[in-house]
């Protein structure tokens, strides 16, 4: 008799339901998935998650892992090894998905050597993002389907080194939003809420053009005609070394997010 695994009927454990882990729960909840177990050391926050999503919660990673079919490790990189050691004996033959940067599949498989290990990098708005993932040596094509179920149908398989690039994009989400707030603060007349709505609509417009294949350079050219304010501002930023500094930040972040052997 062949038993068919249906991810829709599976129990998914989210170990470390902090900011990102809670967003994973929310993405699953939006899909209609209810068989979720969330863990976190902060019991007060764990109770808030239980009430918000009406899902099972526990401070015990082993208990959650033992009850689950799929394990999503949303813990910080510095805690990953300890959590792997903690759950190792109850993850046999299970799919274990790590969301941690700077820790390779090989490093995780060295501890969870009887598990199917993969890594996923996504952003804080899990349900709206395009995640990047890499499958480990024991993963199956069905496991790729589980990843797309949890992290969205647009999730893209990449080489493991490219996950560090995706981590930068996740970091840049906060930097973009922070930079916009500084610019809004400098606007003398518009109400801030009104300016945010306008920026939001503009960002949606940019997103649509990116999705249609337009590049940032092409969008800039469409805005910055000869003698335009945009063109002069670009030259000012270029002369001040702002773009070079930004590229340096990208390179240093990507390097820091690559696993060290």
pLDDT tens for residues 55-93? Answer: 999 999 999 999 999 999 999 999 999 999 999 999 999
CB 127 within 8 A of CB 134: no
CATH number of 7-160: 3.40.50.720
Tell how strand 12-15 and strand 156-157 pair up.
unpaired
Rounded to a whole number of angstroms, the distance between the first and last alpha carbons of the chain is: 43
- 129 pLDDT more than 60: yes
The per-residue pLDDT of the chain, averaged, comes to 97
What tokens appear for 109 in the block? 């498989």
Residue 260: predicted pLDDT: 87
- 261 pLDDT more than 80: no
Confidence band for 4, pLDDT divided at 50, 70 and 90: low
pLDDT tens digit sequence for 136-182: 999 999 999 999 999 999 999 999 999 999 999 999 999 999 999 99
Say how far residue 5 (Cα) sits from the centre of its chain.
25
């Amino acid at each position: 008799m062949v038993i068919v695994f249906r991810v829709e009927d599976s129990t998914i454990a989210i170990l470390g339901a902090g900011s990102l882990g809670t967003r994973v729960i929310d993405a699953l909840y939006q899909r209609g998935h209810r068989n979720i177990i969330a863990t976190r050391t902060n019991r007060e926050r764990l109770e808030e998650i239980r009430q918000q999503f009406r899902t099972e919660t526990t401070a015990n990673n082993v208990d959650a892992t033992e009850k689950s079919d799929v394990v999503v490790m949303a813990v910080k990189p510095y805690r990953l090894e300890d959590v792997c050691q903690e759950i190792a004996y109850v993850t046999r033959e299970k799919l274990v998905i790590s969301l941690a940067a700077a820790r390779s599949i090989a490093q995780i498989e060295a501890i969870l050597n009887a598990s199917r290990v993969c890594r996923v990098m996504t952003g804080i708005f899990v349900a709206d993002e395009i995640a990047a993932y890499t499958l480990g040596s024991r993963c199956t094509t069905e496991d790729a389907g589980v990843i797309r179920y949890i992290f969205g149908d647009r999730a893209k398989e990449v080489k493991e080194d490219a996950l560090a690039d995706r981590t930068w994009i996740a970091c840049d989400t906060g930097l973009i939003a922070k930079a916009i707030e500084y610019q809004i603060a400098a606007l003398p007349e518009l109400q801030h809420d009104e300016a945010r709505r306008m920026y939001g609509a503009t960002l949606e417009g940019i997103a649509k053009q990116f999705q249609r294949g337009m590049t940032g350079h092409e969008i800039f050219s469409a805005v910055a005609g000869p003698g335009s304010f945009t063109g002069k501002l670009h030259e000012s930023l270029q002369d001040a070394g702002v773009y070079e500094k930004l590229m340096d930040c990208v390179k240093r972040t990507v390097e820091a997010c690559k696993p060290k052997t």
